């Protein structure tokens, strides 16, 4: 294992300490708990709180999107492991500003179970909650079983759009509806070239030959839908876009936002080459791209590869996407 770390068992806590030292003007700990981060911005009384949680190892997801205009709180566990229901409950209570809290998170077993328990716990303190689970990974389950899909990079769009809705002082039900609408219009699929190594495990999560690429690989190393010989950037873009559009067709005149997300070890230049082809393919279909996102938004340690997310926009989602936000890893000054 070749990583620039100290002790593997200190990996998560030291990462969070680094975030706090670098971005302490934007985020803070909940009661000195290094596994729960809250916004450090002033919050309007009566604003709906938005929280998420999940395993560490995916920066900027989840910790990097706490701040203003996105998330109010985030709890994390060890690498690829859910935090406890008690930490989630403590976070939810801290993010209740009088109008309830939206729990917005990926569709994974541990997170589902612990968030369900956390929501039950905060009911005793009269905190009202709503739950929206992110299920944007088209490779993880067929369309007829879409409810079983995993949540991947598309959750960043959900954080942004729901966060903007909350800043507009929409009600808890309205913010939840915006989050669900955003996710209904979002599809993601990824490809992987190499595995990652969980620090406390010390060995790769899976194996793949140097001349191969796995189509549909999950962000924890979950199996994809097929392994192929290495493809060009244009072939990757076309293959993934075809899979996404088979699930969520687009028509001439539609407007979308595209996210090309690096999984941790893929250079920005390669992401831009893939985006170039996506732009050309969608232009040929008469589809316009608005506010493209190219970079690392939801990683998997040092996994090489990328994911492509398509968010189909309408006037409401477009307005919310361009609304201001300020977090450690996502800042949007558009108005």
Tokens describing residue 153: 């990079």
d(CA 232, CA 252): 27
Catalytic residue among 133, 160, 220, 277: 220
d(CA 48, CA 183): 19
Does the annotation count 279 as an active-site position? no
Tokens describing residue 30: 């909940």
Residues 6+ apart with CB under 8 A from 148: 107, 135, 140, 141
Catalytic residue among 26, 35, 47, 58: 58
d(CA 254, CA 234): 22
Q: Are strands 255-262 and 129-134 parallel, antiparallel or unpaired?
A: unpaired
Closest CA to 326 of 134, 105, 163: 163
Residue 99 near residue 172, CB atoms below 8 Å = yes
CA 188 to chain centre: 11
Residue 75 near residue 88, CB atoms below 8 Å = yes
Q: Which helix (H) or strand (E) holds 186?
A: strand 186-192
Mind telling me the catalytic residues?
58, 220
């Amino acid at each position: 294992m070749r990583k620039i770390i100290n002790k593997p068992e200190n990996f998560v806590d030291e990462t969070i300490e680094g975030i706090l030292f670098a971005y302490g003007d934007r985020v803070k700990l909940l009661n000195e708990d290094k596994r729960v981060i809250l916004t450090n911005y002033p919050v309007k009384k009566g604003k709906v709180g938005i929280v998420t949680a999940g395993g560490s190892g995916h920066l900027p997801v989840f910790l990097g999107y706490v701040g203003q205009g996105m998330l109010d709180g985030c709890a994390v566990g060890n690498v690829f492991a859910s935090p406890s229901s008690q930490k989630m409950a403590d976070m939810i209570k801290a993010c209740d500003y009088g109008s309830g809290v939206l729990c917005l998170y990926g569709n994974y077993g541990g997170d589902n179970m612990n968030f369900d328990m956390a929501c039950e716990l905060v009911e005793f303190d009269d905190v009202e909650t709503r739950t929206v689970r992110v299920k944007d990974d088209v490779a993880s389950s067929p369309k007829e079983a879409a409810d079983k899909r995993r949540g991947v990079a598309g959750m960043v769009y959900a954080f942004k759009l729901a966060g903007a809705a909350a800043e507009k002082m929409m009600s808890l039900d309205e913010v939840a509806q915006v989050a669900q609408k955003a996710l209904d219009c979002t599809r993601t699929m990824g490809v992987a070239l190499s595995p990652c190594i969980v620090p406390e495990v010390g060995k790769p999560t899976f194996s793949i030959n140097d001349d191969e690429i796995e189509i549909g690989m999950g962000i924890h190393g979950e199996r994809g839908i097929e392994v192929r010989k290495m493809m060009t950037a244009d072939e990757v873009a076309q293959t993934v876009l075809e899979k996404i559009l088979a699930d969520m067709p687009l028509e001439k005149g539609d407007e979308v936002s595209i996210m090309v997300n690096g999984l941790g070890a893929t250079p920005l230049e390669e992401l831009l080459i893939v985006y170039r082809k996506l732009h050309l393919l969608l232009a040929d279909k008469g589809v316009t791209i608005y506010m493209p996102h190219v970079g690392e938004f939801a990683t998997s340690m040092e996994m090489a590869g990328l994911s492509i997310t398509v968010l189909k926009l309408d006037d409401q989602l477009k307005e919310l996407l361009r609304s201001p936000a300020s977090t450690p890893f996502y800042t949007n000054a558009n108005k």
